[in-house]
Chains A and B, each alone.
Chain A
């Protein structure tokens, strides 16, 4: 059986398992009445959580893929380019400046900060020509740390350091009907990414090659950064930060399927959703009936996978 069909099958099974797992017992036969306790559990908690995990699992690797093409470095993702830290800073600023603001407003703050930070990062990386490919994400991590430090200082001054620590780790446990719907913004982003896949591949060939193929580097890179920023912003305000998923999945897919994005994006999406569903199940089952934040599980699972990937590459 080919890998894509295994992934599809796994995806369906994981979705079913994800729906079945939970602290509150839910009898499947009770669902048939389309009302009552079990039905409420399903529609208000289980389904929203499943949707949130899947949307995040698809969105984050997409961000990774886009950034990797724009920066032309396989080790770049929102977490290693300052984007994630900037989105958190934006969220913090919005909470302090306008505490009464709604989700959409906070999302816009996070988006603008993320976009500006990514654009600045791109400008820095393009200005300095690094011989060593590892330098590019290292610079990104340093840059992200500076942004994080600013955020922490700002939070400390306003006495909300503790609640900010809460967003450091992605967590799906608070997702219920009514507070996650903004994540559906990821859907159009995924669609646009797929439609523009060819352009992003061309961008990955470098500015000169893109220009000689008639693609404007600035316009396409700008669009890419916007797509990334929207996804990062909605993820940060609903779920929090989840490291490595945007890095590991694209790198694994490249090994087997190359980088013709129109062909590989569906596989990236499926694999990302599956990985995050597995991490989410581990989070929910490891110390059942309590939960471990997904940021922790995804970080560990993703970290190990990434290590294996680097070792394999150096072999």
Chain B
């Protein structure tokens, strides 16, 4: 479990995160939602230790994260940034192999090869193993990066807008994969996501930020309600519940929401 306590971050004179305290329970999928500029990515980058907070503390299993060596942290928490600007010419298999770097420092062992093969298999990327990532489509490339993150075999996965620029099919594939990682392998997943419907249907828990502050957090059933989402996004929501899940309709606001 990751918990954060009174996190604050300022850029210049602008406060991007103010006094945020919340927790990300183990073996659950938690979605970070909120309008643009709410501080979601900033919070996620702090969990990944790619940004350091001005104030506050982050605990990984009750241990302050800045006490953990970077190399050890890489075996416990894996991060996938939004559209990682990798223009390296690597094959999918080579890329996923680098997910094993925290363990093997590069030269793959038998265990590493298994982990790589498993991760590729898990996302059904086997036919693309030998393809160069710079020749793949956006969706396939995102799947390859996710496979790399999975091969890192960390308890915790942090993902920044993993569905960005993906078509519906790839988006569903990725969300299903994250759900399975959590359910079948007991991993903890934290992701920043804009599509409220994916968040509502695939996560266990919602953490909502607005203007750098924690707006609300809790299980999906308690948080995905018309009143709370209207308040968060300043949009008129109509939530339809069916046996296949919730559908949040905000496309045709009623009344004046300009």
Contacts and interface: CB of A to CB of B under 8 A. Distances in A.
Interface in A152-202: 197-199, 201-202
Interface of B: 48-50, 70-75, 77-79, 81, 84-91, 94, 98-99, 101-102, 105-107, 132, 152
A214 B70 contact: yes
A206 B101 contact: no
Nearest to A255: B89
A37 interface: no
Interface stretch (A20-28, A99-107, A223-231, A257-265): A257-265
A258 B101 contact: no
7 contacts: A199-B106, A206-B84, A212-B48, A214-B73, A215-B101, A259-B88, A262-B107
Given A198-B105, A206-B84, A214-B71, A259 B98 contact: no
Given A212-B74, A214-B102, A204 B88 contact: yes
B90 A258 contact: yes
Given A198-B101, A213-B74, A205 B84 contact: yes
Contacts of A211: 48-50, 70
Which of A72, A201, A209, A259 counts the most chain B CB atoms within 10 A?
A209
Contact of B107 (A198, A201, A213, A215): A198
Contact of B101 (A214, A216, A254, A260): A214
Contacts of A202: 98, 101
B85 A206 contact: yes
Given A198-B101, A216-B70, A262-B106, A205 B79 contact: no
Given A197-B106, A198-B105, A215-B101, A208 B86 contact: no
Nearest to A253: B89
A190 to B, nearest CB: 17
Contacts of B106: 197-199, 262
Contacts, number: 72
Contacts of B79: 208, 212
Interface in A16-51: none
B105 A205 contact: no
A49 B40 CA distance: 61
B89 A206 contact: no
Contacts of B91: 258, 260
A87 B90 CA distance: 33
Given A198-B105, A198-B107, A260-B91, 6 more contacts: A206-B86, A211-B49, A212-B50, A254-B89, A259-B90, A262-B106
Nearest to B101: A213
B94 A258 contact: yes
Interface in A62-79: 72
A66 B59 CA distance: 36
Nearest to B145: A209
A209 to B, nearest CB: 6
B80 to A, nearest CB: 8
A132 to B, nearest CB: 13
Nearest to B158: A212
Contact of A201 (B84, B87, B98): B98
A213 B84 contact: no
Contact of A259 (B50, B77, B78, B89): B89
B75 A214 contact: yes
Contacts of A197: 106
Given A212-B48, A212-B50, A212-B74, A205 B86 contact: yes
Nearest to A212: B79
Nearest to B48: A212
Nearest to B94: A260
A66 B75 CA distance: 26
A262 B108 CA distance: 12
Nearest to B100: A213
